[in-house]
Amino acid sequence: MKAILFLEDRKSFNAESDFSAECLGEVIINTAVVGYQEMITDPANAEKILVFTYPLIGNYGCASKFSESTKVWVSGMVMKEKSKIYSNWQAKSSLDDFLKAHKKPAIYNLDTRTLTVHLREKGPLVGIISTLEFDHKKLLDKINKFKQQPIKSLLPEVSTQKLVSLGKPKGKKVAVLDLGVTAGLIKQLGTLGFSLKVFPYNASAKQILAIKPKGLVVSSGPENDCGLEAVAQNIQPLIGKLPMLGVATGSQVLAIALGARLTRLKLGHRGVNYPVARPGTFKGEITVQNHEYAIDNNSLRKIKEIKVTAHNLNDHTIEEIESKKLKIIAVAYNPVSAGFDQVNAVLIKFSKLLEK
């Protein structure tokens, strides 16, 4: 059936959908060729309308082991062509079936390239996917209504409700503050041999210290969430007391706790091809990124203990900060596994900060 993506600046795109649906959200683009299942199950993308720039989606199907969480968090997906077949020995179902099971809409046959260029030029926009309403005025009304909704935090939804133990029971105890943690991060921390204690987002410093962890990982999760400020305040007392690693949104929380500010990028970094390097050096890494906010450089300069250890080579946004003294590492990118059972170098670096 016919579908539409309508943006708050009144730009509309015709598309198709297999079932009737309507959803709203900030429209974001991701330039990765593979990884659709991981992206839509990543809590960091909660309530977004996700556009894939790669035109052929669903080729290798879906399997629960690819999921970053148990839910599809995006409110909708936009793609050029939804594959009618999947082909990979690991696949258990088609993307279609996966989405049906999770009741999430995916519209297709849409000029995603033009949409991408539009967002690149216009910056972040809210949009609506609908198969029910095509009248531009009414769609705009819905968008406006959506924008006027009282702001609510997603953290209670994406975070664990109670303390959960994961990883290797006999390993070094590491606390994870779950702001929407991904299965991939948990798996890597497990590979490092840690005993993981996953705390709800609103855990206090006292609660965390109570289990006597060797370190704290503040996970990725939804950005620009109204609940993040409080999380930062909660963990502020831990600075200097516990080695800490902030990942993606977790790095932003750490930065806030340290007294820095965030800025919004015109076009978020979302993809798997972002170069970062230590300022003043020629050696860097290609990283996976999914952030639209970055640590403001000016505000960071005032904090003496903190050093920028990696920036994005394209636009020089801060991608990694470190404090040797405070034993803090914060990475704006996603420190994903480098393949097979490899653990990302940042996580290894963090593990070396932990006392024996």
Please give the residue ranges that form the binding site for another protein (CB under 8 A): 13-14, 29, 31-35, 38, 53-56, 59-60, 66, 80-81, 83-90, 111-114, 116-117, 120, 267, 271-275, 277, 281-286, 313-314, 336-340, 342
Q: Decide whether 218 or 276 has the Cβ nearer to another protein.
A: 276
Around Cβ 319, how many Cβ atoms within 10 Å? Answer: 28
* Distance in angstroms (rounded) separating the CA atoms of residues 344 and 272: 14
CB atoms within 10 A of CB 148: 7
The secondary structure element, H or E, covering residue 254 is: helix 249-258
Closest CA to 274 of 299, 294, 244: 294
Compute the least distance from the CB of residue 56 to another protein, in Å. 6
User: Would you say 177 or 192 has its CB closer to another protein?
Assistant: 192
Q: Residue 5 CB: number of other CB atoms within 10 A?
A: 23
Nearer to another protein (CB atom), residue 87 or residue 149:
87
- The residue (of 76 and 271) whose beta carbon lies closer to another protein is 271
State which residue, 112 or 219, has the beta carbon closest to another protein: 112
Give me the half-sphere count of Cα atoms (radius 13 Å) on the Cβ side of residue 87: 4
β-partners of residue 198 are: 164, 176
Name the burial class of residue 170, with classes exposed (0-12), middle (13-18) and buried (19+) by CB atoms within 10 angstroms of its CB.
Answer: exposed
In this structure, which amino acid lies at residue 126? V
* Secondary structure element (H or E) that encloses residue 40, with its range: helix 36-40
In the bound state with another protein, the residue whose beta carbon lies nearer, of 272 and 353, is: 272
Environment class of residue 10 by beta-carbon count within 10 Å: exposed (0-12), middle (13-18) or buried (19+)? Answer: exposed
Contacts from 141-146 at CB under 8 Å and sequence distance 24+?
Answer: 142/24, 143/6, 143/7, 143/8, 143/24, 144/8, 146/24
Please report how close the Cβ of residue 97 comes to another protein at its closest, in angstroms. Answer: 16
Residue with Cβ nearer another protein (5 or 239): 5
Cα 192 to Cα 28, 275, 294, 337, 355, distances in angstroms: 33, 25, 28, 12, 14
Min dist CB 169 to another protein, Å, is 26
Nearer to another protein, 60 or 199 (CB): 60
**What is 75-126 written as a DSSP string?**
SEEE-SEE-S----TT--B-HHHHHHHHT--EEBS--HHHHHHHHHHH-SEE
